[in-house]
Structure 1
């Protein structure tokens, strides 16, 4: 398995990568749906950690595949078969999402991850055979992934009371593998523009799940006969919110990523907070519809908070990861003002509509400001 060139022009996502993304739609939808149901039952406090943990597992599996493919996707028959095995493992993980929410860990999820890891390590072994100059880097990946998977199996035997702490340590182990491996001999030959496209496509997938969660809740409300001005406000505000989340992400064509080890790690890892926030917004919008129609046991402030906090996290992380605060100092002031205004919406009866209008005004001002600077 020979490495791909970093200088390859017009590098684009392959149909197999797009199929891989679609499989992860199932897992993202499951995580968002479980968070939505927990909010409606007023069990948010017990659902926050499982949601963050489950989404990490989904995102991490996708990320490991995407960065490897950027460096070593030769699209031969063995590569395709191994990716299809990874897809099978991803579907098994998706089947264990609800179980993980309730128990913290799931035999389904661990088994699915093991299936993916066996295929992934096999891919790395092929890369080790075909790329002698980077064998030290690849060896770190192989050993790290193997030890990490052994650790997850051992966690299944631990007492329930210790699992949150052990899971947290396991996440640190997982994050350390690429961090330590990519420091050696210049790391793997991942393609910056290809990685940017892959992350952009995953952003669209998560935003699509946000729309799906909200539209499903709206349809249920309409079917139940709950249609009034509040529902219209949620629909308009939700559309404004999702449209502006998309606009903000794709507003900047040049992202803050290079072949630098530190920038690659910060950019790649930082997107976790962008993705998980977007998924949480979908659950929050659905919960707002439930509250309006009287189908939620959560309070008004809690219902609004599960929208406002993820929205703030999304735009704050987006500005940091894409380097906009440094490139455009005015963005920092606009972000601070928007954050305060969005936080105040937590106590409003029309929070979704107000948040959508605030984000729209913020983006309109920043767009005008950027255009002014360009002249």
Structure 2
């Protein structure tokens, strides 16, 4: 058979194929259409979590809403990470793998239906975990258990590692189910959820140290995380579109409306620009052992980026329903953006295994406009809900969003000026220390 015929067979015939493991050293491996389809369900999940956060903040519920949001983002992101880890090692794109992936997508949607219940429960002092979310989680992860069992059967070189993942995921699922059905005090349940989450993250590290790595591809993993980051940044664009659409319906197009629209898009572009100044693929292909800490840092990053979208959605709620001060909007925008910038620095630090203190002045300069945005929010009609009919309110809102965008731009410019030299210096220092 010709090379073209072999490629055509691979592309068009998805019969049962051996699941013997991919080549972890393969360079240039890219994301498959199936993985891209799978990621689309996470657009819905992140959007739902961000919308629920904004709705609760609009009602004045802060800490319970943040707790439910952290739980939701962790649950969604962790399930995604588990699938991505497996697919990088064993994604053979045969019919069984495709069907198992599609079933997991159904689970993501079911879990998403449970998010409103989770946020409402948290607002009333109850556990954010609920049976509907657990059912969705089970649908997401039982197919993954089956896939790991298949890998254990067909890849004897990595069988012990695969079986360890089967046991870890199965035990975790039992734990999540029990916390949803056993009537415990809310505080006790929350403690159990935290312990379960930490155990799920720690157990794979221990299993890998004991049984070795599965044959995942570091370059492929880097691309997959980058793509989910892009999807999450889409929440910022969606939030901007919603806020500006509401503003123009209320007051028509104006200079302030254009500034707010531009600021939202600049924030999204700046987060994208900053993230991709971290050379994840280049470094992980050379130092794959750094992947574990690097991937865990992304769990917080996905949540902080989506929270920027929640802040923009809160702006929409403030204009449509009232009840939210400009200070509340300023905090809802500046806190997640500042957190995002700090986490990207953490991702860089974990990746390079270097904590470069010379980044701190740049962080301080970046945060200065964010602090100014909060000051403007606090000074503009303090204690009163945002009302576009009040003179100066629209100008103050545009000033807040403009200052937030300015902070994001300063971060990009600073990294463009300093990032290359700092990253090269950190790499050379680490290489020199390793050779000693």
With structure 1 as the length reference, what TM-score do the two structures score? 0.92
From 228, 231, 242, give the equivalent of 1:205: 231
Give SS of 1:297's match: coil
Q: Which residue of 2 aligns with 1:196?
A: 222
- 1:214-225 counterparts in 2 under 5 A? 214-225=240-251
> Compared with structure 1, are the counterparts of its residues 79 and 100 closer, same or farther at alpha carbon in structure 2 (3 Å cutoff)?
same
Q: Which residue of 1 aligns with 2:135?
A: 111
Q: Which runs of 5+ in 1 are unaligned?
A: none
With structure 2 as the length reference, what TM-score do the two structures score? 0.80
Distance, in Å, in 1 between the alignment partners of 2:183 and 2:248 is 46
Distance, in Å, in 1 between the alignment partners of 2:358 and 2:53 is 35
From 141, 148, 153, give the equivalent of 1:129: 153
1:270 aligns with 2:290: no
1:333 aligns with 2:361: yes
Distance, in Å, in 1 between the alignment partners of 2:276 and 2:30 is 17
Distance, in Å, in 1 between the alignment partners of 2:375 and 2:253 is 22
Q: Which residue of 1 aligns with 2:38?
A: 20
Distance, in Å, in 1 between the alignment partners of 2:176 and 2:361 is 43
From 408, 411, 416, give the equivalent of 1:359: 408
In 2, are the aligned partners of 1:93 and 1:111 still within 8 Å (CA)?
A: yes
Q: Comparing 206-215 with 156-165, which one deviates more in the overlay?
A: 156-165
In 2, are the aligned partners of 1:288 and 1:304 still within 8 Å (CA)?
A: no
Distance, in Å, in 2 between the alignment partners of 1:259 and 1:57 is 30
Distance, in Å, in 2 between the alignment partners of 1:340 and 1:245 is 17
From 56, 59, 82, give the equivalent of 1:41: 59
Q: How far has the Cα of 1:294 moved from its partner?
A: 6.5
Distance, in Å, in 2 between the alignment partners of 1:127 and 1:262 is 22
Q: How far has the Cα of 1:29 moved from its partner?
A: 1.0
Residue deviations 1:13-50, cap 9 Å, x none? 11110000001111111101111111222222220000
Superposition CA RMSD, Å: 2.3
Distance, in Å, in 1 between the alignment partners of 2:331 and 2:412 is 21
In 2, are the aligned partners of 1:270 and 1:321 still within 8 Å (CA)?
A: yes
> Compared with structure 1, are the counterparts of its residues 26 and 294 closer, same or farther at alpha carbon in structure 2 (3 Å cutoff)?
closer
Q: Which residue of 2 aligns with 1:57?
A: 75
In 1, are the aligned partners of 2:148 and 2:162 still within 8 Å (CA)?
A: yes
Residue deviations 1:288-326, cap 9 Å, x none? 3444x3733233322211211111111111112123794
In 1, are the aligned partners of 2:246 and 2:320 still within 8 Å (CA)?
A: no
From 156, 162, 165, give the equivalent of 1:138: 162
Distance, in Å, in 1 between the alignment partners of 2:264 and 2:311 is 10
Residue deviations 1:69-88, cap 9 Å, x none? 00111111111111111111
From 239, 243, 246, give the equivalent of 2:272: 246
Give SS of 2:60's match: coil
Give SS of 2:210's match: coil
Distance, in Å, in 2 between the alignment partners of 1:264 and 1:67 is 11
Q: Who wins on radius of gyration, i.e. which is larger? A: 2
> Compared with structure 1, are the counterparts of its residues 227 and 258 closer, same or farther at alpha carbon in structure 2 (3 Å cutoff)?
same
From 96, 102, 123, give the equivalent of 1:84: 102
Distance, in Å, in 1 between the alignment partners of 2:300 and 2:192 is 21
In 2, are the aligned partners of 1:277 and 1:314 still within 8 Å (CA)?
A: yes
Q: Comparing 229-238 with 214-223, which one deviates more in the overlay?
A: 229-238
Give SS of 2:209's match: coil
Q: Which runs of 5+ in 2 are unaligned?
A: 1-18, 122-127, 377-395, 425-436
Higher relative contact order (CA 8 A, sep 6+): 1
Q: How far has the Cα of 1:222 moved from its partner?
A: 2.1
> Compared with structure 1, are the counterparts of its residues 244 and 202 closer, same or farther at alpha carbon in structure 2 (3 Å cutoff)?
same
Distance, in Å, in 2 between the alignment partners of 1:225 and 1:340 is 31
> Compared with structure 1, are the counterparts of its residues 43 and 232 closer, same or farther at alpha carbon in structure 2 (3 Å cutoff)?
farther
Give SS of 2:45's match: helix
From 144, 155, 159, give the equivalent of 2:184: 159
Q: How far has the Cα of 1:279 moved from its partner?
A: 0.2
Aligned length, in residue pairs: 373
Distance, in Å, in 1 between the alignment partners of 2:133 and 2:277 is 36
Distance, in Å, in 2 between the alignment partners of 1:337 and 1:74 is 48
Distance, in Å, in 1 between the alignment partners of 2:101 and 2:31 is 14
